[in-house]
Structure 1
Amino acid sequence: MKAVFAAEPNAEDPLSGLRFGERPDPEPGPGEVRVAVRAASLNMHDVFTLRGVGLRPERFPMILGCDGAGVLEDGTEVVVHGVVATPGWRGDETLDPRRTLLSELWQGTMAEYVVLPEYNVVPKPPELSFADAACLGTAWLTAYRMLFVKSGLRPGQTALVQGASGGVSTALVALGAAAGIRMFATARTEEKQAVAKSLGAERTFESGARLPERVDVVFDSVGRATWSHSMRSLRPGGAVVTCGATTGDPTAAEIQRLFFTQLRVIGSTMGTRDELEHLIAFLVASGVRPTVGASLPLADAATGFAAMVAGETAGKTVLTTN
């Protein structure tokens, strides 16, 4: 089968290990299903894989992709849930200390076929296209958990999304606005600010700009470059919900501000299968859909990866198999 894969890790030049070519057809074992992939989407996790983060050298070559949507052998259309718990785990799979994501122990979704545990597929409703559904498992599920499970926000309250042009950030703006939350957003360029406004952001600002009012919650996946601004932007008693640090760990924890204004720092990672089902139901009911910035065939994956690494994306990049 055709697939997009990491041939070998390269921490300094991750795209040098990116390949498109033939890989063995996967065969499902007991309790597993094979999905004929129709669409998969890119995430920064794929770049980390290309860098060799979290994978031993003997795990290569590794097919990339945590997200996808496709068709089971019986014709059922499904969305892939990329968090794979260890056998016998019960409860929130994101809390399983031995959990993995697709493209870590299991081969990923950027291929004509993917095999995974039966638990890790969710029915795709006809209202969602395969491209829409392929965006949900990582970025949109992460945003859903941050917003509706972790933040404690209620309709009418105010939130700030830092760096609102990537997959998680655009999902946060769209979901929050649809839920009646006042969404502020920062972005480096006017074009990216315009994207956030089109998704429902009430106000947009340059990165680091002083806000006209402090907010109840800040969503921060940037880390070092935005952390101090995030802490300064909160009302007393507010919270930062973080799911990553793409620019590295903050140089200062802002501990004085943290205790003096009684702020909260909340970590969030991915989401559960149940939350993915709830996210899908919310999209069907609300009419909200992912922003697909680019749709490319598998063979052109390198173009999409180069744009993502350069920070030139607005929304999700989707790869299609036909």
Structure 2
Amino acid sequence: MTIAPEQTAWFAETFSLLADNVEQAILGKRHVVELVLATAISDGHVLLEDFPGTGKTALARSIAQTVKGTSTRIQFTPDLLPGDVTGITVYDQKKGEFEFHAGPIFANIVLADEINRASPKTQSALLEVMEESNVTTDGVTRPVGDPFLVIATQNPIEQGGTYRLPEAQLDRFMIKTSIGYPDEAATLRILQGVANPKRELSSIVTTDTIVTMSDMARGVYVNPLVSDYIMRIVDATRRATEVRLGVSVRGALALSRIVMTWAAAHGRTFVTPDDVRELAVPALAHRLVLEPEAEFDGVTAIAVINQILLDVAPPRENGAA
């Protein structure tokens, strides 16, 4: 069902209220806050890669508090086991039967802190749950919650004792972004106590509202010319000489999904080519695997996507029906 203009107005207003609430703890990072919120509404997951002390954990916690649902935090360490994440089945001697003890992954919003510090075996425990929102143990499949959002963080400068996330897992993150240091004005306000990352925020909406917004966003109109534009961008990543592995079909679907939410969040019933251009880097760059020679020459995935956006011409129409 196509989203109506009055529904779009409500969507944009609610989205703005959510971002305003999170900004009480994270000053001067409106765009990043909106990106993460849009990903949550789009049924996606977020990978935050940034330096220590930039507010990665605070952002995840603030969003969990803004949405009135269950939230958990998993500190990933080298000795963390898959069962510590998903849960385990234990034998109850009194009852004479096996019982499943749910792990911290069973929540609406899960903060996976320093995800690259866990072993590949533990990292792989997230693959099914991030894709299907289910956990299968001992042949029994259990849903984890609706909505379900994983916000994973990793530190790009401390690589000792870490395990690089495999491409199959990176592909399951809808976006990869960073917060960065605040500007001078925001830093001054933080020092003056205007923003407190540890403060408890009031809940703005319930999880049911997020589910409703997710359903509404699917009704945003995507012009076939805009879909063709996304397809041409994705195809260009596969033909780029610096790229060994281009964007997957999952990546193309992720970009298509989040631009629909982005359009509704900004009060429109249709997706524009500018929406695609604005979200192409966070939605696609982390999915590229570069050639070793290109990496040695200093080429980055972000630079490849930006060059593709310059080379691939957008449609002339604005995307309206």
Provide TM-score, normalisation by structure 2: 0.26
Higher relative contact order (CA 8 A, sep 6+): 2
Decide which structure has greater helix share: 2
Decide which structure has greater strand share: 1
Provide TM-score, normalisation by structure 1: 0.26
Larger Rg: 2
